[in-house]
Structure 1
């Protein structure tokens, strides 16, 4: 889009009571100081935005005289189509016109916004405007015409291992998310790795504290197995002795029981033997007849016979048990118990050695596992560090490629988009330099040349051709003709205001 200024009319605007400027392809505004040169060029941004050429508030009212209303109108040609815009200030009230039609502020602003972006237009109109903005705004505005390279182009420029690692990760996450994930992983794994090292060290110290048996655990177990086998054999013999002794003890108990019965039987015999057979009934005391007397005597004899038979049976039973007791051996188990105890005690050092060997084996397994965990944690930590380094390398290469893309837009200026911090990270910045000097250090002439090159880059990239004005052009002897209309303001001592429009 091409914007051409055709006619600017100022009525009661600052020092100008009534003036019309007809613009040519080049318009020279000359005169001594305080003749209103700058007021003319500032009237256009005030008309469009209510500001001066640097975007600051502007009071357009007359300075040395009184006036009821300040008016500014500008006839534009936009891609061959004319547009007349007007703004006036009357009693602190702003009035707008579009093609001589009164308009509301919103309608007027909408027309202007459709024409061009405010920052872009002012940057093209006033070469100093772009460099007066905050650096972040400058950077953002310029980078919209030189965006960051796509990931695949950056990855192509990186080492293969880093490129492959990031390429897979970028399919799932953004670069920022990858960095945040592995920053957190790195912090977590650092702590985990320190803990793993500490555990490995502690376990190794525990291994060193255990005595060195020096004999394979299989040999120890085989030797202990032989001892345990002998102990089991001795215990089996002890069980047999116990069973035999149980028989002996049982016979002894039975003999004692019979002896007790015999003693009791002996005690009954004198009574039965010396019992007197009475010739009268014990109950009624009547004398017994011969036959009854015979029965009583026979009963007495029968009872003695039964007693003797039973007593003899007890004596015979005792004799049998006594013979059986003599035939039964009683074995003292104390000797066997002592042998078992001695054998069992001889295996205790082996058991202790086997236990130590077992502890040593378990601890060694834990050491091996701890070392594996430590190694795996270190590998994971190194993987995250590698990815973080790859992200850093990606950003550096991305910045390099973007810087090259931006730098390719300029002929003499250098643009710095990033600065490296102490930790190697890149921080966004924006600095325009000419011959390695920052813009803030440039002379007036150098600043004008830098501003003109910048505005031409913006014009070319935005495809917007609009007028440019150069203030204080007397401070520069030569400069490259910018694209579009040129308005030049120059101080000529002792000269009244003079405006000349040149068509070529």
Structure 2
């Protein structure tokens, strides 16, 4: 895109009541201070954006004479297509014209924006404008028109292992997402690995605390088998005796129970036998007649007979059980039971050895599993560490290639796009322009103008937009490279009225 300023008509703009300026390939504006030199390029920017050449808010109203309306009309050609833009200010109200047609502010701003980006145009028009922007905005504007290195270009500069790994991973995730994924995994696996190491250590300590085996497992199992065989042989005898002894004990228990009942019965006999025959009523104490007394005696005799009959039955039951007991034999198996006890005691240390062996095997298995977990966790953590290092290397190499690509665009300026903080290996986005080792803010006026001209030409070449360039204080520089596009120079000449000279290439 080629942007040219054909002319501007200024009315009541600052010190200019009515001025029309035509522009050539080179337009020289000279004169004494306060003659309105800078107001001309300012009027160009005010027409487009309502600002001065540095993008600041501008009040164009004149001081020192009466006026009715401020108005500027700017005739541009953009790729040979003419556009006439007008901006006015009357009684504090802004007015706009597009090709002499009154327009709304939104329509006007949309048209100007469609022609060229404001920051880019002002940076091309005024070499000092770029440096008034925030460094992050400066960086973004410059990089907007510089192609970033491709992943393939960066991979070619990385170690093969890192390049191959990242090339495979970026098929599914962006580098930023990979960084988030593996930072989270590394943090997680760091904690898991510490826990896994602690578990392995604890299990090893438990294993080391187990006593050594006094006998081999196979030998212990063989001895236990033999002892169990001996116990089973003895238990055949005790089991056989057990049935006979159970019957013997049951009869003995029954005899004992009957004997207790007989003893209780015997205790009751003396009272019944010696019971006195009372000849008076127990309740009213009235004497009984002979018939009643005989009835009492008969009752006592009947109860004595009943008692004797019951007592006799108990005695006969006992005798029958005693006869049954006489036929049974109690078999003493205490010796066999003692042998079983001794054999059991002999088996105890053997069983403990087998249990100890089982515990040892279980712990060894758990230790092996813990080591596998530890190894797996470490591998996952190392994998994430490798990927994070590869991403960091990619970003550093990408930054290096991008910085080189940007730097190659300049001849005298040095451009810093990144910086590395102390104690931090990661690169941070940054922006600094230097000339001859000096930061832009420390340059002299002439140096800053030359720096601005070189930078605006790079922006012009990279963006493909050729726009007019305004150089203020041109008297302060004796030599500079002619910028591409139209050149407008303002120069202070003592004692001279405002003079505008137009030259064609």
1:227 is aligned to 227
The structure whose Rg is larger is 1
Question: 1:400 maps to which residue?
Answer: 400
Deviation at residue 356 of structure 1 after TM alignment: 1.9
Does residue 67 (structure 1) correspond to residue 67 (structure 2)? The answer is yes
1:155 is matched with which residue? 155
Pair 1:17 & 2:20 matched: no
Give the distance between the partners of 1:105 and 1:112, measured in 2 at CA. 11
Between the aligned partners of 2:218 and 2:400, the Cα distance in structure 1 is 67
Task: Provide the rounded CA distance (Å) in 2 between the counterparts of 1:219 and 1:339.
Answer: 22
Distance 1:118 1:249 in 2: 118
Assess, with a 3 A threshold, how the Cα gap between structure 1 residues 216 and 167 changes in structure 2: closer, same or farther.
Answer: farther
1:322-337 equivalent positions in 2, closer than 5 A: 331-337=331-337
Residue correspondence of structure 1 range 121-136 to structure 2 within 5 A: 121-136=121-136
Q: Partner of 2:433 in structure 1?
A: 432
Corresponding position of 1:371: 371
CA distance in 2, matches of 1:106, 1:250: 118
In structure 1, distance between residues paired with 2:70 and 2:251: 146
Cα–Cα, structure 1 residues 46 and 251, in superposed 2: closer, same or farther, change >3 Å? Answer: closer
For residue 169 of structure 1, what is the aligned residue in structure 2? Answer: 169
| d(CA) in 2 for partners of 1:74, 1:329 | 140
Moved more, 353-362 or 484-493: 353-362
Distance (Å, rounded) in 2 between the aligned partners of 1:112 and 1:238 = 116
Q: Which residue of 1 aligns with 2:476?
A: 475
Cα offset, 1:35, TM superposition: 1.5
Whole-Å separation in 2 of the counterparts to 1:398 and 1:21: 48
| 1:481 shift after superposition | 0.5
Residues 414-423 or 239-248, more deviating:
239-248
Deviations 1:75-98 (CA, angstroms, capped at 9, x unpaired) = 222222332222121111122222
Q: For the structure 1 residues 12 and 234, does the alpha-carbon distance in structure 2 shift closer, same or farther, using more than 3 Å as the test?
A: same
Shift of 1:170: 0.9
Deviation (angstroms), 1:248: 8.4
Give, in angstroms, the shift of residue 9 of structure 1. Answer: 1.8
Query: Aligned pair in 2 of structure 1 residues 252, 500: CA closer, same or farther (>3 Å)?
Result: closer
Deviations 1:461-489 (A, max 9, x none): 22111110111112211111000110111
CA shift for structure 1 position 437 = 2.2
CA contact (8 A) 2:203 2:367 kept: yes
SS in 1 for 2:136: helix
Report if the CA contact (8 A) 2:84-2:100 is conserved: yes
Quote the residue 2:312 is aligned against. none
Match of 1:297 in 2: none
Mapped partners of 1:218, 1:53: distance in 2: 99
1:246–1:126 Cα change, 3 Å: closer
Aligned 1:340-379 pairs, distance under 5 A: 340-379=340-379
Give the SS at the match of 2:38: helix
Gap change, CA 1:139 and 1:250, over 3 Å in 2: closer
- Asked if 1:423 corresponds to 2:399, the answer is no
CA spacing shift, 1:247–1:143, aligned 2, 3 Å: same
- Give the Cα separation in 1 of the matches to 2:69 and 2:245: 141
Q: Is the 8 A contact 2:214 2:353 kept in 1?
A: no
Deviation at 1:336, TM superposition (A): 0.3
Task: State the Cα RMSD in Å.
Answer: 2.6
Match of 1:95 in 2: 95
- TM-score, normalising length: structure 2: 0.81
1:412, distance to aligned residue in structure 2 (A): 2.1
Aligned pairs, how many? 440
The corresponding residue for 2:495 is: 494
CA displacement, residues 83-126 of structure 1 (integer Å, 9 cap, x when unaligned): 22221211111222222222222222232222211111111100
| Superposition deviation, residue 252 in structure 1 | 11
Could you tell me how far 1:331 is from its partner in structure 2? 4.0
Over 3 Å counting, the alpha-carbon distance change for 1:38 and 1:215 in structure 2 is farther
Inter-CA distance 481–249: structure 2 relative to 1 (3 Å threshold) = closer
- TM-score w.r.t. structure 1 length? 0.82
Name 1:463's counterpart in structure 2.
464
Over 3 Å counting, the alpha-carbon distance change for 1:249 and 1:25 in structure 2 is closer
For the residue of structure 2 that corresponds to 1:138, the secondary structure is helix
Q: Secondary structure at the match of 2:404?
A: helix
